[in-house]
Amino acid sequence: MFGRTKNDSQPAETPVKDGGKGRPTPSRKEAEAAAKALAKTPRTRKEQAAAERLARSASGREVRAGMKAGDERYVLARDKGPVRRFVRDFVDTRWSLVELMIPVLIVSMVLGYSGSTQARSFSSLLLLMMFVIVVVEMVGLRFRVRREITKRFPGESLKGITYYAVIRAMQVRFLRLPKPQVKRGQALPDTYR
């Protein structure tokens, strides 16, 4: 009598109203269960620490990924801005012997502690040559970077740009952060703003 007939065995579809939310309103029982699950706090200090650790690691992964990608929201203050991004790209497109400085220093240290007099003298010569190469390349890099910045960003301050470019150039390419966004030899875009 009351209830469904044979033709009413399937629930009737409710028409979607214009401006409606597109889904049925949850029952009170469902809403309370969802609120209870959301408000459930860790009971012990151990559970709370585990929850905090998970949240920290998730946000840390997001920050590291953003930093590697060069996202302005996540990079350090020293890397922010269009001028710094240009300097990074300018340095990353170049081939440079300065990148080999750290590997050469390691080889030099190994040769210096080997005990052989010839190895020590070769190590000293290698260090001297590397020092001369670094100085020559860094002076050239300084003038090229400053010329490009005054051309592309007229009126911008050049304070700290040389140091930033030199430090970036001395790092081995695959260890640089933010990661290089351009390939070696690639032409740079005209605008960075």
Regarding predicted confidence, which is higher, 20 or 156? 156
Q: Where are the beta strands (DSSP E) in the chain?
A: none
- 128 alpha carbon, distance to own chain's centre: 35
Query: ω into residue 24 within 30 of 0, thus cis?
Result: no
**Amino acid of residue 38:** L
When pLDDT is averaged across residues 124-136 and rounded to a whole number, the result is: 92
Which pLDDT value is given to residue 183?
Answer: 92
Single out the residue of 105, 113, 112 nearest to residue 172, CA to CA: 105
Mean pLDDT rounded to a whole number for the chain = 85
When pLDDT is averaged across residues 6-21 and rounded to a whole number, the result is: 61
When pLDDT is averaged across residues 160-187 and rounded to a whole number, the result is: 90
Q: What percent of the chain has pLDDT over 70?
A: 88
Q: What is the pLDDT of residues 52-105, one digit of tens each?
A: 898 899 888 988 888 888 888 888 888 888 999 999 999 999 988 888 888 888
Cβ 101 vs Cβ 127: under 8 Å: no
- CA distances to 106, 115, 128 from 122, in Å: 13, 12, 10
Which pLDDT value is given to residue 163?
Answer: 93
Distance (Å, rounded) from C-alpha 164 to C-alpha 79?
A: 9
Is residue 128 scored above 60 in pLDDT?
A: yes
Q: What is the pLDDT of residues 18-30, one digit of tens each?
A: 666 778 888 999 9
Distance (Å, rounded) from C-alpha 155 to C-alpha 149?
A: 9
Supply the angle between the helices 101-112 and 117-152 in degrees, to the nearest 10.
160
DSSP symbols for 36-65 = HHHHPPPSSHHHHHHHHHHHHHHHHHHHHH
Which pLDDT value is given to residue 141?
Answer: 94
**Amino acid of residue 35:** A
Which pLDDT value is given to residue 4?
Answer: 54
- DSSP code, position 155: T
Distance (Å, rounded) from C-alpha 125 to C-alpha 108?
A: 9
